[in-house]
Amino acid sequence: MSQVQRREGRPRVNASPIIFVLRIVAVFVAVMMSGYSTQAVADDSDGGFFSYFPAPPKIRMPSIDIVPFWTDDFKTAKKAYNRGNYEKALKYFNQASDDGNFIADWYLGHMYRLGRGVPMDQAVAYSYYSRVAENFDAEEPDKNRLRVTVDSQLQLANYQRTGIPNANLKANPQLAARTFLRLATAYAHPGALYALGVMSIEGEGMKKNPQQGLKWLNAAVRKHSPEAAAYLAELYVAGKVVRFDETRALMWYIIAADAAPAGEYPMISARMNELRFGATQETRIEAEARARVWAEENPAPSE
C-alpha cells in the first residue's frame, strides 16, 4: 500500500447559487432513491443512474466548471488510454494524480486491476479505488464524478467479496453484499445488480434465493452488463435454476458479446463462438434472431 500516498482532500471553491440548488436537488434524489425496495429495483426495466456503465466507462468532460479536473495532464492521459497507449497514459495519470485528481486515481485503479501498462497488482488497485471512494459525496452535483466515486465503492466491494491475500484483506462476502445492495438500490449500478444475482443464486454472503437472483441478473442485463448476460447463458447451458436451453444460451452470449467494450472480456467472445460452432444452423439462426429482437427492445443509451 506504500506505493500510493493518501491525500489531504480535494480542493473546494465557493458554491454559487446554481450549485447550491443542484446540491439540494441531489440530496432529495438520493433520499428518495434510498427508499426503493430491492424487489422494485430488480423488476425495474428503465435506465437508471448507471443505465449503461461498461468497465471502464468513458468520462465526458463536465459542463460545469467546479474543480479543474480536466487539466492538460488528465486530458493527455485520457486520450492515450482510449488509444491503448497505456505507457503514456500511466505517465500523465500519475502526474494528474499528484495534482489531486481522483478521477486519474480511478483510471490508475483500472490499470493495475487489469494489468494495462503496468504489472497486474490488485493490492495497488485496491488502494487507488480506496482513495477515490473517500471522495464520495451524495450531494456531488457533477454526475461524472459521482459515478466514479460510486463505481470505486463497487470495485472495493468486489475485493471485499473475494479478499486480497497479498494485501492482507480477508474475504467478507456479507459486507460486500450489503454494499452491493446499497449501490443497486440507490444507483442501479449494473455491477452491483450482477453481483447480487450471482450471490443470491449461489447463497454467497446471504441466504440462497435463486428466483430473486434471476431478477437481479435480468435487471443487470437490461443495463447492458456483459457479465450478467454471460452468467445467464451458462445457467441455460447447465440447466441450473432454469431449464437447459441451447438457443437461449447462445442468445445470451450474443447479447453479452455485443455489450462488452472492445478488448474487454475476451472469454465471452471465445465462449460464444464455441457455442455457435457446436450449434445446429437452426439453433444459430433462432438465437441470432432473438438477440436482435432483444437489442431492439433494450437499446443502449447513446453516449
Report pLDDT digits (tens) over 164-189. Answer: 988 889 999 999 999 999 999 999 99
**What's the whole-number mean pLDDT along residues 260-270?**
87
Share of the chain above pLDDT 70, in %: 76
Instruction: Tell which residue, 187, 181, 130, 126, has the closest CA to residue 159.
Output: 126
The pLDDT-based confidence of 72 (bands split at 50, 70, 90) is confident
**Phi, psi values for residue 164, rounded to 5°:** -130, 100
**Phi, psi values for residue 236, rounded to 5°:** -70, -30
In this structure, of 24-28, 74-78, 274-278, 281-285, the range with the lowest mean pLDDT score is 24-28
Rounded CA gap, 80 and 87, in Å? 8
- Residues present in the chain in total: 303
Please report, for the chain, how many H helices and E strands are present, in that order: 14, 0
pLDDT at position 192 is 97
**What's the whole-number mean pLDDT along residues 121-146?**
94
Which CATH architecture does the domain made up of 17-222 adopt?
Answer: Alpha Horseshoe (1.25)
pTM: 0.76
**What's the whole-number mean pLDDT along residues 3-8?**
44
* CA distance to 56, 60, 96, 194, per residue, from 299 (Å): 19, 20, 35, 19
CB 164 within 8 A of CB 123: yes
Encoded amino acid at 289, one letter = A
Instruction: Tell which residue, 231, 164, 165, 233, has the closest CA to residue 202.
Output: 231
In this structure, of 124-133, 164-173, 249-258, the range with the lowest mean pLDDT score is 164-173
Query: Over 70: is that where the pLDDT of 13 sits?
Result: no
| Tens digits of residue pLDDT in 173-232 | 999 999 999 999 999 999 999 999 999 999 999 999 999 999 999 999 999 999 999 999
3-state SS assignment for residue 204: coil
Rounded CA gap, 145 and 167, in Å? 27
More confident residue, 85 or 20: 85
Rounded CA gap, 146 and 138, in Å? 8
Joined together, the cell numbers standing for residue 33 give 432513491
Encoded amino acid at 202, one letter = E
| 186 CB neighbour count, 10 Å cutoff | 21
Rounded CA gap, 301 and 270, in Å? 26
* CA distance to 3, 134, 182, 194, 231, per residue, from 173 (Å): 27, 21, 14, 14, 19
- 68-82, 129-143, 224-238 — most confident range: 224-238
Helix axis angle, 143-162 relative to 190-202, nearest 10°? Answer: 20
Rounded CA gap, 233 and 231, in Å? 5
The pLDDT-based confidence of 46 (bands split at 50, 70, 90) is very low
Rounded CA gap, 58 and 78, in Å? 9
| 2 CB neighbour count, 10 Å cutoff | 6
The pLDDT-based confidence of 70 (bands split at 50, 70, 90) is low
CB 220 within 8 A of CB 45: no
Task: Give the residue extent of every domain in the chain.
Answer: 17-222, 224-303
Q: What is the DSSP string of 45-95?
A: -S--TTSS--SSPP-PPPSS-SS--S-HHHHHHHHHHHTT-HHHHHHHHHH
Rounded CA gap, 239 and 148, in Å? 37
Give the HSE-up count for residue 27: Cα atoms under 13 Å, Cβ half-sphere.
5
